[in-house]
Each structure stands twice: as structure tokens, then as C-alpha cells.
Amino acid sequence: MFTSVDDVSARLAETGYLASPAVATTVFLADRLGKPLLVEGPAGVGKTELAKAVAAVADARLVRLQCYEGVDESRALYEWNHAKQLLRISAGRDESWDEARTDIFSEEFLLTRPLLTAIRGDEPTVLLIDETDKADVEMEGLLLEVLSDFQVTVPELGTITATRRPFVVLTSNAGRELSEALRRRCLFLHIGFPDEELERRIVRLKVPGLSEALTASVVRVIGALRAMDLRKVPSVAETVDWARTLLALGADTLDEQVVRDSLGVILKHQDDILKAAAKLDLDAL
């Protein structure tokens, strides 16, 4: 899919995703080694966006499995369409039991869910398993077979193997420790906060109307906030939100008044706002 690491960054940048060297390298390796990619990191640094960008670059279909507590086989893998099977049985006439049985357990009555869909397709596919840590431990066991051999076993049909391996991205917020077995099957990528230079480029890309000097100031303030010991440090998403807010407010430089009024956009806890205000020498809030 990609020829080199630079190729990855360049092509991701075309779709509007600016990748750090770590991200580009790992995506390149995931493609080369044919292994799933496990992406961890704080909320709002672009984990899900990465999968979407890769799909756009590779001109592939994006199949998404959103995990939640209680997601199970019938939601993730496949399910038999019971209602249709019943209809088929009652509509059936003079035929033997064997014929009816082989008929109702055929492809026609199979409802494919994301994992099976991604494996069965012939076209290039990016499989995004989002927020894996939200799913139960049992779900991980199910993923193991899919991720190591790219095959799914349906008892009535046999084993279905991928004709074309999908590019798999798993994301996790580290809400729960994923099992060692699952981690071993994946390449691990931690997306942290970008460095100043990269973040400036991201802001300029997403909010082109903001002046260069103001962008630099915004990124510096965000950097200072991240160094503080806050309950929820601002993420890239918040940086972009703040930049948009400043643009909407028509501010052309940062001053105390503007920062004080818009601090709520970047910090989500009252404790954090008070603490940041004290450290940034803003007067009484």
C-alpha cells in the first residue's frame, strides 16, 4: 500500500491528517507486516481519525465496529436471520428435512456483522474496532481468532478465511487493561500530544483563518496547560476548538481578558480552571 515512511506521511497529509514520525512509521509497518494496529492515547488526539485517513488514502471501504459494554458475537461477527429462516420453513413444501436444513443455513440467511463483513470483502478494507477497552473480556477472545489468522469459524458453514487481509486498527482509551494475548497480536502505537511545531501545523490546517502569530501563542498556552497537573489536560481537539473560538471572537492577539473568557473552551473542570488561572497570573476569575 505504501512505499516508504515518507510516502505515508505525505499521503496522509493529503487527506488532512498530519502524522508525527511515530504514527507514520507504525502505519507503514502495520501495512508491511500485515499486523493489526493497536492505538492508545488520550481522548481527542485523533485515534479514530487515523483509521479514517488510512481508509481515504488507500481508497478502501471503512468497516467500523463500535465496542460497548455487552457487545457480543451476534453484534460483532454474524447472526442467523431467524425470522427469515422461519418464513422459509413455513413456505417450504414437499422437501426432505435434509434439504430444508442445508438450505436455511446458507449464505442467504446469514446476517454479517462488521468483523465478518471486513473479512469476506474482496475490495481493500480498513477495519476499525473502536474503543476496544469498552468491550468485555469475552469479546477479546473472539477478536483473537479474527486478528491472528483473519478467519472466522461459523459452525454451519465452516471456516471463512479472508481473501484479502483488511488493514485493522483497534483504538483504546486505556479504560481497562487489554489482555496480553490481544496486545501481542498487534503493533502498539501510543499517540501522545503532538510537539509544538506539529500542533501549529494542525491548527493552521484546521483553522486557516487564524493569524500565524496568534496560532503560535495558542499552541504555547496549550503547551503550558499540559505541563500543569490538571484533571483533564486539553487535547488537540480542544486546541482546535479554542482556535475556532478565538477566530469567532475576532481576537487578533491573546490578552488576559480573552483568555479568561474562553478558558472554559479548553478546560472542562472548575478546579482546573481555577488552578490554570492562578498559574497563568489571570486576575480573579
Partner 1 sequence: MTTPPTPATPSTADTAGAADTADLADSADLADTAGAADTAGVAERLTSLVAALRAHGLRIGTGETVDAARAVEALGLADRELLREGLAATLLHDLGRRRVFDQVFDLYFPRRVGGPEDASSDRDDLRDRLAEALAAGDRALLAMLAAEAVDALGRYGTGAQGGDGGGPGGDGWSSYQTLDRLRPQTLLARVRTSVRERDGATGFADRLLDDEIRRRIEAFRTLVAAEARRRVAERRGAEEIARRAVAPSADRVDFLYAGRDRLAELRRTVQPLARKLATRLAARRRRAARGSIDLRRTLRGSLSTGGVPMKPVLRRRRPARPELVLLCDVSGSVAGFSDFTMLLVQALHDQFSKVRVFAFVNRLDEITPLLVHGTADPEGLGARIRSEATLTAWHGSSDYGVALGEFAERHADSVGPRATVFVLGDARTNMADPNLPAVRRIAARARRVYWLNPEPRAQWGTGDSAAPAYAGLVEMHECRTAHQLSALVARLLPV
d(CA 118, CA 33): 18
Q: Which member of 67, 118, 143, 189 binds partner 1 (CB under 8 A)? A: 189
**At closest approach, how far in Å is the CB of 35 from partner 1?**
7
Residue 199 contacts partner 1 per CB under 8 A:
no
Q: Which residues of 98-121 are buried (b: 16+ CB within 10 A; e: fewer)?
A: eeeeeebbeeebbebbbbbbbbbb
Strands 158-161 and 110-112: unpaired
Enumerate residues 157-176 that contact partner 1 by CB under 8 A.
174-176
d(CA 190, CA 49): 14
Q: Which residues of 170-191 are buried (b: 16+ CB within 10 A; e: fewer)?
A: bbbeeeeebeeebbebbbebeb
Beta-carbon contacts of 98 under 8 Å, excluding residues fewer than 6 positions away, are: none
Contact present, 130 and 171 (Cβ < 8 Å): yes
Interface map 19-58 toward partner 1 (x if CB under 8 A): --xx-xxx-xx--xx-x----x------------------
Interface map 126-145 toward partner 1 (x if CB under 8 A): -----------x--------
Residue 122 contacts partner 1 per CB under 8 A:
no
* Amino acid identity for residue 13 in this structure: A
Q: Which member of 259, 263, 267, 277 binds partner 1 (CB under 8 A)? A: 259
Query: Which of 223, 233, 224, 245 has its CA nearest to residue 272?
Result: 233
Write out the three cell numbers for 177.
487493561
Q: Which member of 220, 237, 245, 247 binds partner 1 (CB under 8 A)? A: 220
Q: How many other C-beta atoms lie within 10 A of the C-beta of residue 70? A: 10
Among the candidate windows 76-84, 88-96, 138-146, 252-260, which touches partner 1 by CB under 8 A? 252-260
Enumerate residues 94-113 that contact partner 1 by CB under 8 A.
none
Q: Which member of 59, 90, 91, 227 binds partner 1 (CB under 8 A)? A: 227
Among the candidate windows 101-109, 151-159, 183-191, 239-247, which touches partner 1 by CB under 8 A? 183-191
**Interface with partner 1 by CB under 8 A: which residues?**
5-6, 9, 21-22, 24-26, 28-29, 32-33, 35, 40, 137, 174-177, 180, 183-184, 187-190, 196-197, 213, 216-217, 220-221, 223-224, 227, 229, 231, 253-256, 259, 271, 275, 280-281
